[in-house]
């Protein structure tokens, strides 16, 4: 089947308003962006040569969606549901997104964490249909040509992984692209970026996962991972090609290993419109939860003392965003860092024991901490007590480490301590909300990385907000695109965090909930996009938006209107039959 069987027809806001189709008959139904299955109209059936290929009744999208809901709910487990939704996406993108939108809180757990982790692990055995691009040493020199085959889709966002740091399960080789697919589905659900504008990309530089290397069914490049200069040269060849083909597209780096995540992000801050969600998105959503908590506590952000338990990419990303948040309150960089402590497997990260370069800027000088004299002084409970920590954040991936003693130490420092066990999946969480609620008599302000059921305590049902990056990255992407931003700045994430915190309903704040409900993702993403777009204008990195001729003398109103109008909804578009070529 030829790749280019359709073209997109845009309005002044960059939204696709119709699809011009050159394909006829079965080829039209085989393309998932065009296919409407039983919903092709009488006119479309005539113009696209579909008479006799479909039963005569025309079924509405709403009816199709209800039927799909019934089918997916009959599946026995989440993996079966995942397979059903992905297969539906392979056949009919619009219907798949209409299904997901019907219950985003439920289906997000299927298309992304935690179920997508299984899809990564079983990628080769579950493989049915190719999506996106797999670059490996055998084709990376043709990267520009390969990317060019997707130019007709007007790619606006790419999620790119090297497959090494997948969720909490590590190196998954070629299977990591399932993460990119899931993330882009959330870009569509949250920010309304049409699925044909999204491109998942795997940088398959090999794998050190022995099970994959020995698996005869493994589909990836069956070699040990490239390292050092070879690895960075590979990434550079990709980045150069991506910039040449899609100079205005956003590149989101996803699930790189810890040091590599910082190396790649920092190498392309100026050369690509890019960011790393595991670092900056994680940091921003954690800062959102803390900002909401300070509103509940009625205490300034700059009065808090922060301890991040787990000094990997996510933990240091959180430290970076907290530092940025504190600096917006008037603190100097030095004063902001003095309020942030990080711990890893060796205890408190200091200038004498940090293991990775990216940890250094938050490593503490032992000479400034009179209570730090012996190695055991840098352990969790002692740091909580001596540093008077009021905000405890877990990114360690170590279950049960927020013990009864640690939580009680937090209570000694604050009447309403903020405790965020963010490690995923749920069986790696530092403590469950139920444990923390009971250990603090319901006084702690809690958010988690994974969804947890409500906790029954004191005759009340207590909800726990989820620190999910989905509140950040779709809106950041939409704000970058709407403003025409030429780079992604740290200030974008501080402003995004505040927008998310401000989006928590007042009644939820009163109940101690620190994040908006997942069902509000579309509205929250619009608020984040506006904050990011205005930051781009303020920081003078915005450019003329390629998607709109709409003008207004009030820049904020123009941007708000553009953000509202450029979002795609899962509704069938008109199909216009055109001659091939």
**What is the three-state SS of 315-377?**
HHHHHHHHHHHHHHCCCCHHHHHCCEEEEECCEECECCCCCCHHHHHHCECHHHCCCCCCHHH
Mapping DSSP to helix (H, G, I), strand (E, B) and coil, where does residue 60 land?
coil
CA 414 – CA 436 distance, rounded (Å): 14
**b (16+ CB within 10 A) / e for 516-550:** bbbebbbebbbbbbbbbbbbbbeeebbeebebbee
Active-site amino acid positions: 112, 183
Q: If 0-12 CB within 10 Å is exposed, 13-18 middle and 19+ buried, where does residue 433 land?
A: buried
How far is 392 from 380, CA to CA, in rounded Å? 10
What HEC string does 125-147 produce?
HHCCCCCCEEECCCCHHHHHHHH
CA distance readout (Å), 36 to 57, 65, 133, 580: 13, 12, 25, 20
Question: Angle between the 93-102 and 104-111 helix axes, to the nearest 10 degrees?
Answer: 120
Q: Which of 577, 568, 580, 435 is nearest to 93 (CA)?
A: 568
Task: Please state, in angstroms and rounded to a whole number, the distance separating the CA atoms of residues 201 and 135.
Answer: 8
Question: What is the β-pairing status of strands 340-344 and 306-309?
Answer: parallel
Helix (H, G, I), strand (E, B) or coil at 456: strand
Burial 321-335 (b: 16+ CB within 10 A, else e): bbbbbbbeeebeeee
With 0-12 / 13-18 / 19 or more C-beta atoms within 10 angstroms meaning exposed / middle / buried, residue 168 is: middle
Q: How many helical (H) and strand (E) elements, i.e. helices and strands, does the chain have?
A: 24, 17
d(CA 446, CA 42): 54
H or E element at residue 123: helix 123-126
């Amino acid at each position: 089947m030829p790749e280019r069987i359709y073209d997109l027809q845009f309005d002044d806001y960059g939204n696709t308003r119709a699809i011009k189709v050159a394909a006829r008959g079965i080829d039209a139904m085989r393309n998932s962006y065009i296919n409407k299955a039983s919903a092709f109209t009488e006119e479309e059936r005539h113009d696209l040569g579909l008479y006799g290929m479909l039963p005569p009744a025309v079924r509405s999208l709403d009816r199709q969606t209800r039927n799909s809901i019934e089918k997916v709910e009959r599946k026995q487990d989440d993996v079966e549901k995942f397979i059903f939704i992905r297969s539906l996406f392979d056949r009919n993108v619009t219907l798949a997104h209409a299904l997901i939108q019907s219950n985003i809180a439920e289906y997000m757990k299927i298309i992304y964490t935690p179920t997508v982790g299984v899809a990564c692990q079983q990628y080769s055995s579950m493989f049915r249909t190719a999506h996106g691009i797999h670059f490996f040493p055998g084709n990376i020199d043709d990267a520009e040509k390969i990317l060019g085959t997707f130019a007709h889709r007007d790619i606006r966002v790419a999620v790119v992984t090297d497959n090494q740091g997948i969720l909490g399960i590590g190196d998954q080789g070629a299977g990591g692209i399932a993460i990119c697919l899931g993330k882009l589905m959330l870009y569509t659900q949250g920010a309304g970026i049409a699925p044909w504008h999204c491109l998942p990309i795997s940088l398959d530089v090999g794998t050190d996962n022995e099970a994959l290397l020995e698996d005869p069914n493994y589909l990836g490049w069956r070699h040990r991972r490239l390292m050092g200069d070879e690895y960075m040269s590979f990434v550079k060849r990709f980045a150069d090609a991506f910039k040449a083909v899609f100079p205005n597209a956003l590149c989101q780096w996803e699930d790189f290993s810890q040091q590599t995540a910082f190396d790649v992000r920092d190498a392309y801050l100026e050369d690509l419109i890019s960011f790393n969600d595991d670092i900056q998105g994680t940091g921003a959503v954690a800062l959102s939860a803390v900002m909401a908590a300070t509103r509940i506590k009625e205490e300034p952000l700059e009065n808090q003392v922060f301890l991040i338990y787990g000094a990997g990419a996510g933990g240091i990303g959180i430290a970076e965003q907290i530092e940025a948040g504190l600096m917006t309150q008037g603190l100097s960089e030095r004063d902001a860092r003095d309020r942030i402590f990080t711990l890893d497997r060796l205890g408190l990260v200091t200038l004498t024991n940090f293991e990775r370069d990216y940890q250094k800027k938050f490593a503490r000088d032992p000479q400034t901490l009179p209570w730090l004299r012996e190695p055991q002084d840098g352990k969790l409970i002692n740091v909580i007590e001596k540093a008077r920590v009021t905000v405890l954040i877990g990114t360690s991936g170590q279950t049960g480490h927020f013990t009864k003693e640690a939580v009680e130490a937090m209570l000694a420092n604050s009447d309403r301590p903020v405790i965020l066990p963010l490690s995923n999946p749920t069986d790696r969480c530092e403590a469950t909300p139920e444990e923390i609620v009971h250990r603090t008599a319901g006084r702690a302000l809690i958010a988690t990385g994974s969804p947890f059921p409500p906790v029954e305590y004191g005759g009340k049902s207590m909800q726990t907000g989820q620190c999910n990056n989905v509140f950040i990255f779709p809106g950041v992407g939409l704000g970058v695109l709407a403003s025409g931003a030429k780079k992604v700045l740290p200030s974008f994430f501080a402003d995004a965090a505040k927008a998310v915190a401000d989006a928590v309903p007042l009644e939820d704040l009163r109940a101690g909930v620190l994040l908006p409900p997942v069902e509000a993702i579309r509205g929250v993403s619009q608020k984040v996009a506006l904050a990011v777009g205005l930051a781009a204008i303020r920081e003078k990195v915005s450019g003329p938006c390629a998607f709109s001729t709409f003008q207004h003398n009030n820049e904020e109103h123009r941007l708000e209107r553009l953000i509202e109008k450029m979002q795609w909804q899962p509704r069938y578009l008109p199909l216009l039959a055109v001659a091939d070529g």
